[in-house]
Amino acid sequence: MIRRTLKKTSKSEKLKAFIEKYKIPREYLSTNRKMVSRAVLIGLFIAFIPMPMQMLAVVAMMPFVRFNVPIGVAMCWVSNPFTMPPMYYMEYLTGSFILGMKPEPAKMTLDWFTNNLDKIFIPLYTGTIVFSVVGSLLAYWAVNHFWKGSVDRDRLLHRDDRK
């Protein structure tokens, strides 16, 4: 269903006019399986990293990797002000567990964070590596898997309609 919606949107006359007006390369808005799955991979990888301007980091990847930029940027929104504290806390706990460290009792205040940054930095980014790599690769696989399944179902339906 999402695949069909993306295909319909990509054929929109308004979108074509927008692309021509601003001279945007077509591959940055392409909605095929490879471009969408790469966008999900890159967007989620960066979404798990605790840093400012995540959307800018996704856009900075454009010269190096071809992917659907709007979808990649939208994947960054997984980490928003409501989801960031639990995400980063889970990353911190995971990093502490991997490094064999006892996690600091956390208080969600800016004062606590600035005073304890030196103690939580290494475990936080260790957990970030795990979540970024595993989460983005699982999402990449899921998009590919479900996209192929959708294409196969459509082929079967089309084949049955021809009979």
DSSP 59-126: HHTTTTS---HHHHHHHHTTS-TTTHHHHHHHHHHHHHHHHTPPPPPP--SHHHHHHHHHHHHHHHHH
Neighbours of 82 (CB within 10 A): 8
Whose tokens are 């998009």? That residue is 143
Cβ contact 67:38 at 8 Å = yes
Helix, strand, coil shares of the chain, percent, nearest 5, are 75, 0, 25
**Cα–Cα distance for residue pair 103/89, rounded to 1 Å:** 10
Query: Of the candidates 70, 65, 60, which has an alpha carbon nearest to the alpha carbon of residue 19?
Result: 70
Whole-model pTM above 0.75? yes
What is the distance of C-alpha 96 from the center of its chain? 24
The closest alpha carbon to 131, from 80, 78, 81, belongs to: 78
Residue 137 is predicted with a pLDDT of 97
One pLDDT digit (tens) per residue for the chain, 163 residues: 566 776 666 667 777 777 777 777 777 888 889 999 999 999 999 999 999 999 999 999 988 999 999 999 999 999 888 998 889 999 999 999 999 999 888 887 778 878 888 889 999 999 999 999 999 999 999 999 999 998 888 888 877 666 5
Q: What is the pLDDT of residue 160?
A: 66
